[in-house]
Structure 1
Amino acid sequence: MDVLDLARLQFAVTGSLHFLFVVLTLGLAPLVAIMNTRWARSGRPVFEGMTRFWGQIYVVNYALGIVTGLVMEFQFGLSWSGLSHYAGDVFGAPLAMETLVAFFLESTFLGLWIFGWRRLPKWLHVACIWMVVLTAYASAFFIMIANSFLQNPVGAVERGGRLELADFGALVSNPALVGALPHVIGAALLTGGMVVAAASSYQLRRRTAEVELFTRSLRIGVVTAAVGIFVAVASGHAQFGLIQPGKFEGNAGAGIGLGFMILLGEMALFPLLLFFGAAVSRMPRWGWAQSLLIGLTPLPFVISILGWMAREIGRQPWLIWERLTVEDAMSPGLTPGMITGSFAGFVGILGLLAVIDYVIIVRIVRRGPVELALGA
């Protein structure tokens, strides 16, 4: 592979690994906040157990996912300095806002929630987890502003060979953003809901003593996943009318990603969760239904990556649509050896973090709501 293909592959792999963390974090956050709110209102131990159990899984995924996001920032300077030079004044602004929101606001409120258990007033503690949810989705909003600018560069003018921001309002009302953001949110809710439903099914199949906790969790997970797949499919279809002429032409990878995403999302999960999910939530002791939900756990993650494949490959060979090609955006002086070395390091670290993340989560799920550190 030449240096350009290696750099593209490196960013694609590291971006996909990072998004595996992100999509679960965004999906779990509102569920944990809802459980915490129900505990604050009712005072019932079952809701405390649900908050602590799912909250600990959320915290583990968040902590390891943050590290993988840093690698993405490094690559803009290491491999794609042409993008920073040409459009840094526009593209960098939402990325800077995302960093401020995620690394300062979101992490601060999450820290207050984690260490404020039984130290903060009850409703102030609940407010902290809702602020985590709000800032998490604000972070996703700013990331999608940046990505949508690459898809459809609005709100910028070119002066002296560089793009300058002329209309911030055009960035936040970008048609590429309006269609894509609900799609990402729907995918996140689908993923979070499916993980909760599958883990709850696993515990119920094992005849756990915490029947009420996992029955309630199963119902919340199935309902959330059904809402998520509906939003994702509806907003996904709405985006077809916004695709610029010429996109996807000659890009087999984008077509494959789009085709399989539609196949898995609409023909597998969509009818299952809409028509079968309600029955599962009412009949939590159906062993075959629990096994099916457990087996479907990887599908939301696969669908999410396929969706990003379609979106990103469909823009090729442009990095900024009809403004800057991928080749022109690449940093000068790079050699295959440089990219291969950083590729091995990045993917090795991110792959290890992903393995650690899922091993810890599986351990928590198997152990159940006992010996939890969160809130102890």
Structure 2
Amino acid sequence: MDALDIARWQFGVTTVYHFLFVPITIGMSLLVAILQTIWVRTGNPAYRRATKFWGKLFLINFAMGVVTGIVQEFQFGMNWSSYSRFVGDVFGAPLAMEALLAFFLESTFLGLWIFGWDRLPKGVHLACIWAVAIGTALSAYFILAANAFMQWPVGFKQANGRAELTDFGAVLTNKVVLSAFPHTIVACWLSGGAIFMAVSAWHLGRKRDLEVFRPSMRIGAVAVLVGMAGALLTGDQLAKTMTQTQPMKMAAAEALYETAQPAPFSLFTIGTLDGTQPIYSLDIPGLLSFLATGSFDGKVQGINNLQAEYQQRFGPGDYRPYIPIAYWGFRLMIGFGLLTALVALVLIWATRRGRLPEKPLFWRVAVWSVVLPVLAHSFGWIFTEMARQPWIVFSQMKTAQGVSPSVSAGTVLLSLIVFTLLYGALAVVELGLMIKYGKAAPPPDEAPEEGGAMAFAY
């Protein structure tokens, strides 16, 4: 492999690894805020214990997300200097706002929340965790706004071989980010809810602290169901936006080789090994047309037709992504999300009216279901990025043009090995801490001191 291939592997490994923590952080921040709100409104000490228990797991995940995210910016400069030079003027604004506004909001109020227990008034302390939840969502918006420029570049002009920012408002209101942001946020509720379900299931299977983990599990299950319903609705809008901005990505997601009107949605397709031709397909007539255009009789462009169109528009070349990854990544994203929702639905039904199933297998399945939304997010992110290929910035710069010209394959390979080993070690630490504190009992109830003096810890 050359430097380009290794650099793509490295960015893929580090990005997918980092993205394991992002949806859990966003989802858990909201659920912890909801738990604390219930405690403040009801005064039920079980919810105070639950808030502290889940808050500890949230903090572990938050810290790991911050550590792994730093590597992303390092790679831009080392492996993708040509790309960084091209988009730097555009990317600088949303990324700066993410760091100076969103992350500052998160970290400041998270510190106040950690050290403000029994020192701040209840209402002020509650406002801190809600500020953290809002900060995580804002952070996601600014990052997605930068990524949306790669999907559908707007608000710029090309000058001196660079994309120069001309309209920051256009970047922040890119039609792609307006569709992708709500889809991403509601999908994060699946990951946060699944953590609540899995850890609670481990305790409920042993009949421990039922007053804490029974409501926690049901809150997590509801979050999963609401998140999945929201993901389906917002995903419909995102698919229509994708059809407008990147029709090749939509065609690749369905392995639709020839333009069709109406276009079927394939539940299952077998193609040639190079992904250029279908062999067998099980279809639902007209469904793809509805997803792409809002009409069961809508016209959807095919891969072969778009390839010919792009050759005329952009010059000779292969503008098709690797179809099997696009096709199966799209389906695995949806499939694992639906399986998570199915587990949540079963948990709600099985634990209704105070019931607790006796079979250990039931609780084991609930515990292991925690991996389902993680897989759904990972495949969704892989689909989003790989189905855009060969573009690193759609219609403006190909991925092969973005790699650093002076960095050798050996250098990139060395950093890939180092990062992989480092991330493997961090995975052991993360899992160890999450398992250790996830199995621990919630903290005992303590009578809070209302409005005590503020203290700072160093």
Query: Structure 1-normalised TM-score?
Result: 0.94
* Cα distance in 2 for residues equivalent to 1:131 and 1:141: 15
Q: Which amino acid aligns with 1:308?
A: W
Structure-2 residue corresponding to 1:172: 172
SS at 2:164 equivalent: strand
Structure-2 residue corresponding to 1:258: 330
Are 1:77 and 2:81 an aligned pair? no
Q: How far apart are residue 40 of structure 1 and its match?
A: 1.9
Structure-2 residue corresponding to 1:353: 426
Which string of whole-angstrom CA distances, capped at 9 and with x for unpartnered residues, describes residues 183-228 of structure 1? 21122100100110111111010121x1111111011010001111
Structure-2 residue corresponding to 1:16: 16
Are 1:341 and 2:414 an aligned pair? yes
* Cα distance in 2 for residues equivalent to 1:103 and 1:278: 35
Which string of whole-angstrom CA distances, capped at 9 and with x for unpartnered residues, describes residues 153-208 of structure 1? 01111122211222222222222112211221122100100110111111010121
Are 1:269 and 2:340 an aligned pair? yes
Alignment of 1:313-328 (within 5 A): 313-328=386-401
Give unmatched runs, 5+ long, in structure 1. none
* Cα distance in 1 for residues equivalent to 2:103 and 2:184: 21
Do 1:233 and 1:265's aligned partners in 2 also have CA atoms closer than 8 Å? Answer: no
Q: Which amino acid aligns with 1:255?
A: Y
Q: How far apart are residue 101 of structure 1 and its match?
A: 3.1
SS at 1:118 equivalent: coil
Alignment of 1:135-146 (within 5 A): 135-146=135-146
- Residues matched between the structures, number: 371
Q: 1:351 to 1:371 in 2, by over 3 A?
A: farther
Structure-2 residue corresponding to 1:52: 52
Q: How far apart are residue 318 of structure 1 and its match?
A: 0.6
Q: How far apart are residue 315 of structure 1 and its match?
A: 0.9
Are 1:245 and 2:315 an aligned pair? no
Q: How far apart are residue 41 of structure 1 and its match?
A: 2.2
Do 2:321 and 2:390's aligned partners in 1 also have CA atoms closer than 8 Å? Answer: no
Query: Structure 2-normalised TM-score?
Result: 0.77
* Cα distance in 2 for residues equivalent to 1:242 and 1:104: 32
Structure-1 residue corresponding to 2:258: none
Structural RMSD (CA): 1.9
Q: Which amino acid aligns with 1:365?
A: G
Alignment of 1:56-205 (within 5 A): 56-205=56-205
Q: How far apart are residue 125 of structure 1 and its match?
A: 0.8
Are 1:369 and 2:442 an aligned pair? yes
Do 1:84 and 1:92's aligned partners in 2 also have CA atoms closer than 8 Å? Answer: no
Structure-1 residue corresponding to 2:380: 307
SS at 2:157 equivalent: strand
Q: Which stretch shows the higher mean deviation, 180-189 or 2-11?
A: 180-189
Structure-2 residue corresponding to 1:30: 30
Moved runs in structure 1, 4+ residues, more than 6 A? none
Q: Which stretch shows the higher mean deviation, 80-89 or 54-63?
A: 80-89
Q: 1:371 to 1:360 in 2, by over 3 A?
A: farther
* Cα distance in 2 for residues equivalent to 1:150 and 1:70: 20
Give unmatched runs, 5+ long, in structure 2. 253-319, 449-458
Do 2:141 and 2:181's aligned partners in 1 also have CA atoms closer than 8 Å? Answer: yes
Q: Which amino acid aligns with 2:112?
A: L
Structure-1 residue corresponding to 2:234: 235
Are 1:294 and 2:367 an aligned pair? yes
Q: Which amino acid aligns with 1:140?
A: A
Rg bigger for which structure?
2
Q: Which stretch shows the higher mean deviation, 147-156 or 160-169?
A: 160-169
